[in-house]
Amino acid sequence: MAKVVDARGLSCPQPVLLARKAMEEGEFPIEVLVDTGTSRDNVTRVAQKAGLKVRVEEREGGFVVRIEK
């Protein structure tokens, strides 16, 4: 079961801060729900920088950024 981080509707940089917090907690995989392209790109970038695998899916008008080790 993936850990779900709901960052929909939050302003920059909160989606990234929430994603980072979940990454630091170390429970993978993580699914970050976002609703803008900006947040999708930012969360993707921060996870890739940490050397993690990222897959993005579109869901319900938003995106799921799935982060795995």
Partner 1 sequence: MSRFFASRIGIIVSGAIIGALAALLVLWGNPPNMGICVACFTRDTAGALGLHRAATVQYIRPELIGFILGALLGALLFKEFKPRSGSAPLIRFVLGFFAIIGALVFLGCPWRAYLRLAGGDLNALLGIAGFIVGVAIGVFFLKRGYSLGRSRPVGTAVGLVMPVFALILLLLLLFRVSFGENAPIFFSKSGPGSLHAPILISLAVGIVAGFLAQRTRFCTMGAIRDVIIMRDFHLLSGVLAFIVAAFLVNLAIGKFHPGFAPQPIAHSNHLWNFLGMVLAGMSFALAGGCPGRQFFMAGEGDGDAAIFIFGMLVGAAFVHNFNLAGVPDKIVDGKLVVGGPSLWGQIAVIVGLIIVAAIGWTMREK
Q: Where on the chain is the footprint of partner 1 (CB under 8 A)? A: 8-14, 16-17, 20, 35-38, 41-42, 45-46, 49, 61
The tokens describing 5, both together, are 């981080």
What is the DSSP code string of 13-65? Answer: THHHHHHHHHHHHT-S-EEEEESSHHHHHHHHHHHHHTT-EEEEEEETTEEEE
Shortest separation between residue 18's beta carbon and partner 1, angstroms: 10
User: Given the complex with partner 1, which of 1 and 49 has the nearer CB atom?
Assistant: 49
Task: Return the number of the residue (2 or 41) whose C-beta is nearest partner 1.
Answer: 41
